[in-house]
Amino acid sequence: MTTPATGAHAHAGSHGHEPGHHETSFFHKYLWSTDHKMIAMQYLFTGAALALIGGYLAYVFRMQLAFPGHVVPGYGLVTPNRYNSLVTIHGSIMIFWVAMPVLVAAFGNFLIPLMIGCDDMVFPRINRLSYQIFLLSALILLSSFLVKGGAFGGAWTSYPPLSAKGIYNLSPLGSTLWLVAVALEFVAFLLGGLNFIVTTMNGRAPGMRMWDIPVVVWMIVIASVLFMASVGPLIAGAIMLLFDQRLGTGFFDPGRGGDPLLWQHLFWFFGHPEVYVVLLPALGIVAEIITVFARKKLFGYRTILYTTWATGVLSFVVWAHHQFIAGIDPRMANVFTITTLLISVPITEMIFVYIATLYGGSIQFTTPMLWALSFIAEFLIGGVTGIFLGASGADIYFHDTYFVVAHFHYTFFPSAIIGMFAGLTFWYPKMFGRMLNETLGKIHFWGTIIAFNMIFLPLFITGAAGDQRRIYDYALFPEQMRPELQHLRQLSTVGVMILMTFQVFFLVNFFWSLKHGKRAGENPWLSNTLEWTVPSPPPHGNFAELPTVYRGPYEYATPGRKEDYWPQNAPITPLEEGAL
Amino acid sequence: MLERFATGASTYAPSIDHLILLIAVIVGFWLIVAEIALFWLMARFRRRDGHAPQYVTGEEKHLTKWVTIPHFLVIACDLVIIVPAILVWMNVKQTLPPAQETVRVFSQQWAWSFQQPGPDGILDTADDIRTVGELHVKENTVYHFELRSRDVLHSFSVPVFRLKQDAVPGRTIVGWFKATRTGTFDIQCTQMCGMGHGLMAGRIVVETPQQHAAWMKRVSSPALAASVAPSSDTAADNSKIAEVSR
Amino acid sequence: MSTTARSIANLRSVTGIPTARLVTWWVIASEIFIFGGLLASYVMHRLAHPEWGIAASHTNTAAGATNTFVLLTSSLFAVLAHKAADAHDGPKAAKFLRLTALGGLVFLTIKGLEWTHEIREGFVLASGGFWSFYYTVAGLHALHVLAGLIIMLVFAVDVAKNENLPRVQCIGLYWHFVDIIWIFLFPLLYIAK
């Protein structure tokens, strides 16, 4: 699953844990390493490989929607049962096995120790275990395609009774494998999150106060806290659902005193904070990039943290907006409409702060900066369309239509995909010691962004026209069979193909630059944070001499200094003291 | 606005459409303001020779207003959306006008079936009309529907009515609608319900009282009962449930 | 691969709380949410189903009460172990750790006998809503007891040699947490009838 060969340029393996023990096997170097950077690479490459699989699934079901009943090149005929499995596994993979490992685990692992100035995570072996459990969960999920009955097809939300009984979902083994895989993935991220939280709390370099921590580290830590606090009830729910599937209990069976809506509450109590678990690290990555390429201090560092915490806390009291029409007490909808719309206050404020950061800057449109700016531009669309769904009266119509699909792709795609490319293009020089090619990077950027909008803008319209989700063929719904809607579906499918084609530019750029890119040096972007003070790629143990921190991470264009950046670990010289 | 994409055919469809329009105007305004601000700043502060970046912490009084003013405006806009959203919701879901007619809606993998009173106007009597995949209702009449599920979750959705309600096994959920336009419209299942989810279609036929009476007379006469048997494409597995019966 | 090498990050303590103790608290926090979700689900169902009281009347309150007493006693030993560790008396701390583990073992034995009896009477996991929750919640708790006592016995080996003494406090914290969970389970599963 991982592609460890690319790590061959990293120095990671050249120093063992014990001095004098330099002979490390391939296995120990790449697969059994406790080095946080190697674990980050494992998460990154596993996540990227699964993103390709998830994208392939999307291609198959989009082809079926555009040309129903035709054989899909590279797959075959899409039967109703397979269609359900495709959308279910696409959703599960993209959220649990792409967005989380890449944004939270890969960037969290790579950046946290480097940015807070220490040698590794506090518990390197727990970190390794976390990845191994994650890999196991991914393999279990993929194996479910091969079992009798096929992969689970009851949607990524897995509502019982459909998910609880084989006679309903017709994939008894697939549904259990799905559940076990998801539960293991949760355990993996609980272990990873422990490391992120405790490392940041206890492992910071001397002098680094709370307000000196780079925003991306804060965001990953807050995301880990949100994850930990929200996933517990769903782990409990997963145990109950597993017992319902396998041991004949009736937790979610109304005929036996259970309640199917209980699962929905447990699922969405997790599911809504999960949106922010994925979003926050991307916001953090964007904060690092816009400050560097606008040469600007972040506009209101503390405002960002306060609004992030406010968003995080509010995200625990909005879950029932996913269940307005699910049969809950209608009076509950009123409460949840209010809380849901209130969450727009901190999140808008945060976005305004990001936009305001550009004010007075000196903006260079490098590839990472383009990704970061496009994140803001695209996420705005995802944010405002959420209001339609959070307002109970309007949700009656939009619920479970393609409008919802378009909306959450405008939040998840900017987070998971745009955020990932932003982070990857920005830290690539640090990770691999070489610069990416800017021209290829920009071609890839424009191809991806235009195709992305081409996929999902039409879906807002088909959703508004009443296209309901998870339908493999609209032949039985005359109102949805209007030719103009079919054309929009085809437009969207063409977008998917363009999107996938342009990823070739990225892959070529990525692998070509590993060998032939310009050498990056320590600090190619003239950035302040600590990871840019060590060689690229950083050696095992990161810092030759552990740094001391003197100031916050965003001191760009500080008055009275010759350079327009001021690394966090640069001591104040007497001369500068006078100038300030 | 929504009328352009999907016909409205119930009394509350216009109120939902107006709510959606209101939200569209408000969030559309904010979206445009934010995107313009973003692109203007990108153009205005692009890197140029002789323009050094400024040192702004974002904690200065005269600058924080650019964030605090939108902060209060967003709260105000939220209220403008929350109030009508809740009013519409209460009208559609929370308070039910007195019923003139009552129908039962049964969902199961993967078909809709309906039970409504026959000529005597009372449910659960011998002349009840049971149909599969097709529901006949009168226009301008307040209908209560009692929604049930026989197996998994389903969702009873009539896009032209702007009506959607999940069916939960073990519960009877009551809702209402009053059709304003005659015609034949789609019934969708909008909750994933297994392999045949995409096949779970139904039709709702809104008729004038005269047409409805004629239809009822036709299906209540035993000799003709067979002619209104459900079309085979709407019910994947309809053999075990109701046909038109007495 | 070295098994003893610690990262420098591990040795730092910016918050003033030792890293091992800090992580114990976070583990406990995440466990609280798991048990919290399970118990909240149980309580909501229980309130909606008064008839579950009849099923609950078949539970053995005396066995539950004895187990409460056993766990509380073992928690006392955990405290004494911590005290001994603070006084750098490894062998004594190890002795109390083993006594704590013994308490856990007695707890599991009583639990096993109790369940055997109930299963013989025909009350199994799938016998109805109450029994499903009863076995699931208490079973998950029993797994935590089992894990705790194994970890404790493993730690006791090093502690007896005066090594890794701070671990005593961490496992003690965990044990108190397991104890407190039981304090919630006992009235909810046994007494509410």
What is the predicted pLDDT for the residue at B133? 93
DSSP string, A298-347: -TTHHHHHHHHHHHHHHGGG-GGGG-TTTTS-HHHHHHHHHHHHHTHHHH
Give the bridge partners for B167, in sequence order: B154
pLDDT digits (tens, 9 = 90+) for A130-169: 999 999 999 999 999 999 989 999 999 999 999 999 999 9
To the nearest whole Å, the CA of A178 is away from the closest chain B CA by: 15
**Mutation choice for C interface testing from A31, A197, A201, A269 by most C CBs within 10 A:** A201
Q: What is the mean pLDDT of residues A254-282?
A: 93
pLDDT of residue C11: 86
The span from the CA of A284 to the CA of A180, in Å, is 31
pLDDT at C158: 92
Is the predicted pLDDT of residue B226 greater than 50, yes or no?
no
pLDDT tens-digit profile of A81-139?
999 999 999 999 999 999 999 999 999 999 999 999 999 999 999 999 999 999 999 99
Distance of residue B119 Cα from the nearest chain A Cα, in angstroms: 31
Q: Which of A479-483, A549-553, B59-63, C4-8 has the lowest mean pLDDT?
A: C4-8
| pLDDT of A67 strictly over 90 | yes
- Please report the pLDDT score of residue B116 as a whole number: 93
Interchain proximity A17–C27, CB inside 8 Å: no
* Cβ contacts of B88 on chain A, cutoff 8 Å: 392-394, 396
Q: Does B226 lie at the interface with A, CB-CB under 8 angstroms?
A: no
- The answer to whether A35 and A124 have CB atoms below 8 angstroms apart is yes
Nearest C-alpha of chain A: how many angstroms from B120? 31
pLDDT of A577: 58
Is residue A289 predicted with pLDDT exceeding 80? yes
Average pLDDT over residues A279-283: 96
Question: Which of these ranges, A56-60, B230-234, C59-63, C65-69, has the smallest mean pLDDT?
Answer: B230-234
Task: Give me the phi and psi of B21, to 5 degrees please.
Answer: -65, -45
What pLDDT sits at residue B230? 45
Angle subtended at Cα B130 by Cα B124 and Cα B131, rounded to the nearest 5 degrees? 160
Which chain A residues have a beta carbon less than 8 Å from that of C31?
232
For A337, the closest of B31, B86, B188 (CB atoms) is B86
Q: What CA–CA distance (Å, rounded) separates A430 from A536? A: 5
* DSSP helix/strand/coil, B170: coil
Q: pLDDT band at B65, cuts 50/70/90?
A: confident
Residue A18 has pLDDT above 70, yes or no: no
- Region A209-213: mean pLDDT is 93
Residue type, C186: F
Q: Is the confidence at residue A4, as pLDDT, over 50?
A: no
pLDDT at B4: 85
Asked if the model's pLDDT at residue A229 lies above 70, the reply is yes
Select from C9, C41, C128 the Cβ nearest to the Cβ of A262. Answer: C41
Instruction: Select from B78, B176, B200 the residue whose CB has the most chain A CBs within 10 Å, as the one to mutate to test that interface.
Output: B78
- Of the candidates B46, B70, B186, the beta carbon closest to that of A479 is on B186
Name subunits touching C (3+ CB pairs < 8 A).
A
Mean pLDDT of chain B: 87
Above 70 in pLDDT, residue B222? no
Amino acid at B23: I
Rounded CA separation B139/A335 (Å): 34
- The tens digit of pLDDT for each residue in C33-86 reads 999 999 999 999 999 998 898 889 889 999 999 999 999 999 999 999 999 999
ipTM above 0.90, yes or no: yes
pLDDT tens-digit readout, C102-147: 999 999 999 999 999 999 999 999 888 899 999 999 999 999 999 9
Please determine, for residue B225, whether its predicted confidence score (pLDDT) is greater than 70.
Answer: no
pLDDT average, residue stretch B167-193: 95
C contacts of A259 (beta carbons < 8 Å): 45, 48
Residue C9 has pLDDT above 90, yes or no: no
pLDDT the model gives residue C1: 37
The predicted structure's pLDDT at residue B61? 82
Query: What pLDDT band is residue A432 in, cutting at 50, 70 and 90?
Result: very high
Residue of B nearest to A161 (CA): B152
Which amino acid type is present at position C154? Answer: V
The dihedral through the CA atoms of C50, C55, C58, C64 has a sign that is negative
CB contact under 8 A, B78 and A342: yes
CB contact under 8 A, B16 and A396: yes
Cα–Cα distance measured from residue B213 to residue B227, given in angstroms and rounded to the nearest whole number: 17
With b meaning 16 or more CB within 10 Å and e meaning fewer, what string describes C134-167? Answer: bbbbbebbbebbeebbebbbebbeebbeeeebeb
pLDDT band at A425 (very low <50, low <70, confident <90, very high): very high
Mean pLDDT along residues B38-55: 90
For residue A19, pLDDT over 90 is answered with no
In 3-state terms, what secondary structure has residue A389?
helix
Q: How many CB atoms are located within 10 Å of the residue A72 CB?
A: 17
CA dihedral B21, B27, B30, B34 (to 10 degrees): -130
Residue A283: is its pLDDT beyond 70? yes
User: Rounded CA gap, B51 and B45, in Å?
Assistant: 9
Cβ distance of B6 and A326 shorter than 8 Å: no
% chain B with pLDDT above 70: 90
Cβ separation A380–B5 shorter than 8 A: no
Residue A482: closest CA among chain B residues belongs to which residue? B5
Which chain A positions have a beta carbon within 8 Å of C27's beta carbon?
194
Shortest distance between the Cα of A86 and any Cα of chain C, in A, equals: 30
What is the pLDDT, as a whole number, of residue A21?
Answer: 47
Q: Give me the pLDDT at residue B125, please.
A: 87
- Report how far Cα A146 is from the mean position of its chain's Cα atoms: 27
H or E segment and range at residue A526:
none
pLDDT at residue A441 above 50?
A: yes
DSSP track, A423-464:
HHHHHHHHHHSBPPPHHHHHHHHHHHHHHHHHHHHHHHHHHH
Mutate to test the interface with B, among A397, A459, A551 (most CBs of B within 10 A): A397
Residue C13 above 50 pLDDT?
yes
A1 pLDDT higher than 80? no
How high is the pLDDT of residue C192? 81
Q: Does C134 touch chain A (CB under 8 A)?
A: no
The pLDDT, as a whole number, for residue B241 is: 37
